[in-house]
Amino acid sequence: MTARPETSEAHAPELDLPITEVLAFENEWRRHAGAKEEAIRTVFGLSAARYYQLLNVVIDSPEAVRQDPMLVGYLQRARDARTNARATRTFTSTPRSHESIE
């Protein structure tokens, strides 16, 4: 994304994205299914991976919580659920058969 001139709009630390813009985008995509990755490239000019890295910073910022506490809480819970699901998949192994080879 190209650098934007500084405005009075709140930005997350080390981000070039206004918090309000990110929250508005997430609020819209929470309600509608679609090609979100393509919309991320179009709206923000970022890869989906980079956008989600920045989104994690945004939803941990006190400014985002002040702007939309319900949405931020929802996004944090969704992130935590994905993290827990990933950890469960990573650390759970399937039982192996202990057949001896004769």
The pLDDT assigned to 66 comes to: 95
Q: What average pLDDT does range 5-25 have in this prediction?
A: 66
| 61 touches 55 (CB < 8 A) | no
Distance CA 1, CA 8 (A): 19
Identify the bridge partners of residue 92 per DSSP, sorted by sequence position.
Answer: none
The confidence score (pLDDT) of residue 87 equals 86
- Of 14 and 6, the structure prediction assigns the larger pLDDT to 14
d(CA 22, CA 26): 6
Tokens of 66: 């002040």
Predicted confidence (pLDDT) at residue 96 exceeds the cutoff of 50: yes
Over residues 10-35, mean pLDDT:
75
List phi, psi (to 5°) of 93.
-110, 150
Confidence band, pLDDT 50/70/90 cuts, at residue 1: very low
Tens digit of pLDDT for each residue in 30-85?
A: 766 678 888 899 889 999 999 999 999 999 999 999 999 999 999 999 999 999 99
pLDDT greater than 70 at residue 97: no
Domain regions of the chain by residue span: 19-83
Whole-structure pTM value: 0.68
